[in-house]
Chain A
């Protein structure tokens, strides 16, 4: 029923940036980076600081780790391999030397090999979804991938664009915000979590799928797999080798801390409340 020979490679893009605050108000809000202490809601061990020149946040010395949605993507890819529906899982990440650690984590979870697309310095600071998706499209062609799974968005910039852009560049179908994916012959059935509820679509391979929270629960790397990961290969590639120009078309004008929370005002009656709202021009 499932023709495993058809699906050769599943390339899983790992975003190594991102920090989660679930869109809830938190003390030192975005932009926050994926670092050792992601969740700034209650306890901030590493305070995310805006650079003095207000062009971004301080990233020096901040430990980066795999984007949580990408962890889910890697887990799904490995699950497909365990079911013998795909032959090989390739983990890819774009960034400086330190992303190799993240790729190794994917290898320890069970990916077969890794590709590190080296982007560092100024290029890395301005690296955004458009450049990443171009890199990825080029890699997909080179590797002859049949399926690309990535996290739905990075939790540092919350762009939610890379997956969609890759699909557009390759002219492949896409299943975004997947909470369930099932391979049926040469089509992928994807259940998408959308505002209105759950939408089920069938897309023909090759395709792009982006992982949402409830797709799966990522596994812990087992010790034997960590040992095996040591022997797995990580290839080094430069964007220029893929014919991609990583120059950014966007210019960040400024980055600011969120405004300090102001004290509230207590009112006695509903009429007072409506009155105050009208005063403030909110109603």
Chain B
């Protein structure tokens, strides 16, 4: 039967000289990026192809955290791309980080988000707002892949409405006491520390929120059940429950009342990481479809000859390429220390909608084969969906973009 020719080949035995080395076609954009970034992208692509892609399906089935791979990525410097070398990071720029996340997500979307959360949401705010002492304590151990961090902002009662945080932080002597529940925290079951947002003064509304660093495990901090998700199943997501959780005063990140600001700035950058993840998923879905279009025959010829399929592939590639350029531009603006909020929102919106569109069409191109687990298309479809939701829903992105535009046209 035709479907039996399309079973994925068995995983390669070693990294070198495996039959599936360098399986994916080159992307023409490689010629446009600076050489450093091209090399970095290539190394991440090689890693994703050889070490992530072969195990991604199994990781998804088992809901298994890729601890070994995270350590290897740590050794490569990918878990702390922007962190300066003096603190143990790779000392590269944000564009390099986005390229890394995209290439890794092309292999395994869960690994992509684990890398992204550690880099952007955990290390990001500490790098920007932490004291030198805090950086040494909370950054360096988290650059090697041995430990990962997480970011606790959302609560069961508020996601998009981040200003309505109800987790409390009360000062008692020389300690902060945190109490409340955080929801949907990526990486939490595998994390060794978290950045938590709690309100120190409810009457000030969002201006009363502050950020805190809490080690994990810690007395007073417990984890809810691991959510059984539609996609990105190798990364853990759960509630963090704080009951009389005591931390030293020195664990406040930034100034009192700065929490909301820290969260918003962190998410501005974080959304580029998610945009990159979405691009990786979309690209993997396109790879899958284009390959299938060559092989599957119907009506006497490969289906790639049919205009219906060709139009789909064109639309898919266009969606990805547009989103990719938006992402790169936003990253470059950030690296040049220019304002990039609007561009980042556009990138995340475009990339996540591209991911859902492309993965949806990929299943359509594959037909029945797209619906079964033998082909990765169904996993891309499931993985893509979350990108429109976390780190700012598509609706929030539209609000951010609109606000920025209205500001530009302010009378």
Tell me the A residues contacting B by CB distance below 8 Å. 20, 22, 36-39, 41-43, 45-46, 63, 65, 68-69, 71-72, 101, 104-105, 108, 213, 217-218, 220-224, 226-227, 229-230
Contacts and interface: CB of A to CB of B under 8 A. Distances in A.
B39 A39 contact: no
A220 B43 contact: yes
Contacts of A222: 43, 75-77, 90
B128 interface: no
Given A22-B19, A69-B17, 9 more contacts: A36-B22, A39-B22, A39-B23, A104-B39, A217-B15, A221-B43, A222-B76, A224-B77, A224-B91
Contact of B96 (A104, A213, A223): A223
A199 B33 CA distance: 47
Given A104-B39, A229-B39, A223 B78 contact: yes
B14 A223 contact: no
A210 to B, nearest CB: 15
Interface centre among A46, A63, A71, A224 (most CB of B within 10 A): A224
B2 interface: no
A63 B26 CA distance: 8
Contact of A38 (B22, B47, B75, B291): B22
Given A213-B16, A223-B81, A223-B92, A37 B22 contact: yes
Q: How large is the interface on B (under 10, 10 to 19, 20 to 34, 35 or more residues)?
A: 35 or more
Interface of B: 9, 14-26, 35-36, 39-40, 42-43, 46-47, 72, 75-78, 81, 85, 90-92, 96, 100, 291
A19 B17 CA distance: 10
B21 A39 contact: yes
Contacts, number: 90
Contacts of B36: 226-227, 230
A229 B9 CA distance: 35
A227 B92 contact: yes
21 contacts: A36-B22, A37-B23, A37-B25, A39-B21, A39-B23, A68-B16, A68-B17, A104-B39, A105-B39, A217-B14, A217-B15, A220-B46, A220-B76, A222-B43, A222-B77, A222-B90, A223-B78, A223-B81, A223-B100, A227-B90, A227-B92
The 10 A-B residue pairs whose C-beta atoms are closest, nearest first, are A223-B77, A223-B90, A36-B26, A45-B25, A68-B17, A222-B76, A221-B43, A39-B19, A226-B39, A222-B77
Contacts of B85: 224
Nearest to B20: A39
B24 A37 contact: yes
Contacts of B77: 222-224
A39 B75 CA distance: 28
Contacts of A224: 77, 85, 90-91
A99 to B, nearest CB: 14
Contacts of A217: 14-16
Contacts of A220: 43, 46-47, 72, 76
B44 to A, nearest CB: 9
A79 to B, nearest CB: 14
A222 B39 CA distance: 10
A213 B16 CA distance: 8
B91 A227 contact: yes
Contacts of B23: 37, 39, 43, 45
A13 to B, nearest CB: 17
A281 B194 CA distance: 76
Nearest to B77: A223
Nearest to B291: A43
Contact of B39 (A45, A218, A221): A221
A223 B19 CA distance: 26
Nearest to B290: A45
A188 to B, nearest CB: 22
A104 B35 contact: yes
Given A220-B43, A224-B91, A226-B39, A20 B96 contact: no
A218 B40 CA distance: 16
A38 B46 contact: no
B24 A108 contact: no
Contacts of A22: 17, 19
A69 B43 CA distance: 18
Contacts of A72: 16
Nearest to A104: B39
B25 A108 contact: no
B21 to A, nearest CB: 6
Contacts of A223: 40, 43, 76-78, 81, 90, 92, 96, 100
Nearest to A36: B26
A229 B43 CA distance: 13
Contacts of B40: 223, 226
Contacts of A108: 39, 43
A42 B19 contact: yes
A101 B26 CA distance: 15
